A and B are shown apart, each in its own frame.
Chain A
Amino acid sequence: MTLTRLPWLHAASRRAPVAVAAIATCAIGLRLALIGHWDTYGALQLPLVFEAGAAAAITITTASPLGEPERVTGRWLPFLRLATALALTSAAALLLAVAGTGAHLVGGTLEVLRNVTGMTGIGLLCAAAVGGTLAWSGPAAYLVVGAYGQYTQWHGPALTTPWIWPARPPHDVGAAACAALVFSIGIVLTSVLGGRDRVAE
């Protein structure tokens, strides 16, 4: 009973069900958008926008409404945070990849996985730094950076650093490694420390 009730209570307190709904909305939005005709810029930037939306929704769930009392109640909290973030990230990658199946999704599943993971990592890092409720600013800002990186592939000089992974091809190992590194650091920090939020918020 406790095994399922505690994770559910944790997820509900973090608005994880709403986050899942938001991620599903992003996937549906991507699917609907892919039906339309897009030029090269649009086709490149479109998945990135929805990936950023999903990543922002995940990072919002790091905000705790309980604060200090929750932190002293048990040893499961880091694991619950870890499980929530991992589950939501997996769901986002899966749903967005499914949304692109059978449509012309530039970059394919690999790029979705890399971009969602990396941008979620940025959001988790922001949650540890400024709090979960404002952590969306990380993925939203990185969306501008990523879109600009993609733009420079046409209007040089091209940005080739792997840290701007949306501008790199899906099979680029360096870009994937950077995204994975950012995600790893972000998830470790938020799992151990939680979001830096005030209870009043």
Chain B
Amino acid sequence: MTAVRVPAVSRPAAAMPGQLRAAARLLRLELRRNAMPWMLPLVFALFWFSVYRKAMAMPPLWHPRAASLQIGALLAFASPAAGTAAWMGSREARRRTTDLVAITAWPSWARQLATWAATTCWALAGYLACVAVLYGVTARQAAWGGPLWWPAAVAAASIPAVSAAGFAAGALVPSRFTPPAAAIAAFFVLALSTQPINGSQSYWNISPVVAYPWDIGPDPGVATFYPNLPDLSIAQVMFLAGLTVTVLGAVALSDRRGGSWLRRPAAVITAAGLLAAGTAVALAGTGTLNAHGMIAIPAVHDAASDRPARYTPVCSHTEIPVCLNPAYASYLPAVALALTPVLHEIAGLPGAPVRISQAAAIYQQGPGNSVSISMVGPSISGGRPVYHVLLPDQLGGAALTTSEFIAQVRSDAGPNILANFIALPRSGASQAQQAVLAGLLKAAAVATSAPSARGAPQPVLSPLPAAVQSAAQRFAALPPSARHAWLVRHIAALRAGRITLAQLP
């Protein structure tokens, strides 16, 4: 007599209300007997350490914090979720119950799906709690705008994907070494998937850890003057959903006990998932950096997103009002403090700007991953002149302390405001114009030696001849009222270049 191993093929029964109740009960059981809740304290600690603290150190603007959430939360959740899912996926083999549960009424793929779903539900619940805390605190701090849900959705869509990948690894290779391998591999793939990115048209932008043009960093200037573009996020969510479906379909395909009733739909589902993921990658490859600092994908782009956001600026009560986008309301005292000495010198004079207004930045893709950021339009506009200014935070670069920020604004905008007021030409300025500018800068305590922020052009100030320096010192030493009175009388002639150095007081 020969013993032949013939696996029993499970067949589905028609769906009945009782079966749905049983499925819900199975999910409830899996939720209660899941390892993910025990991992959540560790995940929360990681989230607090690497995401929450970092986000709270950022200015209370939605875009940088949402981008930080997408990237950081994903990295904090990926390893524990993938490892735990692999642990749960290998449970039957680990507890040596594979044969025992094989004879139950439920097919193995349904049991596995319930285990994966429970693990994913716990991970998603933890993630949503983290989003609620971070967005809740930001909502209390942010002066304008609202939560950006697409970055949060990308990280949320990533959790089922990494969980499915980990689960499949655990189910297919049930070893005690599989969960750590899945956890480390998840981090490796996600953290280092940005390496091949080269410019905004890279297919690798599909990586869910890409929340903005790579290497630009979480720029506070993005998604404040223009709405946040969801194009790349849509492609990423599509890719992640496709990946999840593909992996789960592959798990069903590998079920040896499943008959053709399982294999055929599983094959279709796997193919559909692959198609969705492949399409999303192709879409990501068509993305381009738009002028507002976000990646636009033509196939999913909504032209309405290109219209400027409507807002009422917040203005200071200085002699010449300083007006900022309301998202930057918390910056207003520092910017006003930085510019008050400069504005005090020219307030009330003919041709002085009636307002200092914050401008939007324009972004341009450079070679590789470099991006150039500059101001949209001229720095001065209108019959009643309005001077436009970019804040240092809009130009990227390192984070600044408040005192550094004030010094940077004063040294960037101060010389330009005064140079525009005097109508100082870029070249061929008269010695009197140079002396008056230098004198006003000295009187306003503007340090012209401070390095200019990226993209902020500076008027030519040095080297000045000794005679000009001497005249500038004399002009700066005048009482403010005398300086003011002289400028009222002579500003038109000074602008026209008709004042000589000897005519300066």
A143's partner among B42, B95, B187, B398 (CB-CB below 8 A) is B187
Q: Which residue of A lies closest to B96 (CB)?
A: A200
Q: Is the CB of A42 within 8 A of B192?
A: yes
Q: Does A184 count as interface, using CB distance less than 8 angstroms?
A: no
Secondary structure at the B interface, as helix, strand, loop or mixed, is helix
CB distance from B35 to the nearest CB of A (A): 8
A57 / chain B contacts, CB cutoff of 8 Å: 177, 180
Q: Does A68 count as interface, using CB distance less than 8 angstroms?
A: no
For chain B, residues 4 to 27, give those with C-beta under 8 angstroms from any C-beta of chain A.
none
Given contacts A49-B184, A143-B187, A144-B50, contact A63 B176 (CB under 8 A): yes
A63 / chain B contacts, CB cutoff of 8 Å: 176
Q: Is the CB of A141 within 8 A of B180?
A: no
| Interface window among B73-81, B379-387, B447-455 | B73-81
Secondary structure at the A interface, as helix, strand, loop or mixed, is helix
A143 / chain B contacts, CB cutoff of 8 Å: 79, 184, 187
Q: Is the CB of A148 within 8 A of B195?
A: no
B46 / chain A contacts, CB cutoff of 8 Å: 141, 144-145
For chain B, residues 202 to 223, give those with C-beta under 8 angstroms from any C-beta of chain A.
217
B50's partner among A39, A133, A148 (CB-CB below 8 A) is A148
As a 0/1 sequence over residues 25 to 55 of chain A, the CB contacts with chain B under 8 angstroms (1 = contact) are 0000000000000110010011001001100
B76's partner among A134, A137, A144 (CB-CB below 8 A) is A144
A52 / chain B contacts, CB cutoff of 8 Å: 184, 187
The range of chain B's interface size is 20 to 34
Given contacts A39-B195, A42-B195, A57-B180, contact A140 B188 (CB under 8 A): no
The range of chain A's interface size is 20 to 34
Q: Is the CB of A60 within 8 A of B180?
A: yes
Q: Is the CB of A56 within 8 A of B187?
A: no
Q: Is the CB of A156 within 8 A of B184?
A: no
Q: Is the CB of B83 within 8 A of A137?
A: yes
Q: Is the CB of B183 within 8 A of A56?
A: yes
B183 / chain A contacts, CB cutoff of 8 Å: 56, 136-137, 140
A156 / chain B contacts, CB cutoff of 8 Å: 398-399
Q: Does A157 count as interface, using CB distance less than 8 angstroms?
A: yes
Q: Which residue of B lies closest to A132 (CB)?
A: B176
For chain B, residues 33 to 84, give those with C-beta under 8 angstroms from any C-beta of chain A.
35, 39, 42, 45-46, 49-50, 57, 75-76, 79-80, 83
B195 / chain A contacts, CB cutoff of 8 Å: 38-39, 42
Residue among A15, A52, A139, A148 facing the most chain B CB atoms (10 A cut-off): A148
Q: Which residue of B lies closest to A164 (CB)?
A: B49
Q: How far is the CA of A134 from the CA of B179 in the complex (A)?
A: 8
Q: How far is the CA of A22 from the CA of B187 in the complex (A)?
A: 17
A145 / chain B contacts, CB cutoff of 8 Å: 46, 49-50
Q: How far is the CA of A28 from the CA of B98 in the complex (A)?
A: 34
Q: Is the CB of A56 within 8 A of B217?
A: no
A18 / chain B contacts, CB cutoff of 8 Å: 175, 177
Q: How far is the CA of A155 from the CA of B399 in the complex (A)?
A: 8
Q: Which residue of B lies closest to A151 (CB)?
A: B50
Q: Is the CB of B184 within 8 A of A141?
A: no
B80 / chain A contacts, CB cutoff of 8 Å: 137, 140-141
Q: How far is the CA of A112 from the CA of B243 in the complex (A)?
A: 34
B191's partner among A22, A56, A60, A147 (CB-CB below 8 A) is A147
Q: Is the CB of B179 within 8 A of A136?
A: yes
B175 / chain A contacts, CB cutoff of 8 Å: 18
Q: Is the CB of A53 within 8 A of B76?
A: no
Q: Which residue of A lies closest to B78 (CB)?
A: A144
Given contacts A137-B83, A141-B42, contact A148 B184 (CB under 8 A): no
Q: Could you give 7 example pairs across A and B, Cβ below 8 Å?
A: A39-B195, A49-B187, A49-B188, A63-B176, A143-B184, A145-B49, A157-B399
- Give the 10 A-B residue pairs with the shortest CB-CB distance, closest first: A136-B180, A56-B180, A140-B183, A148-B50, A140-B79, A53-B184, A49-B188, A42-B195, A144-B46, A60-B176
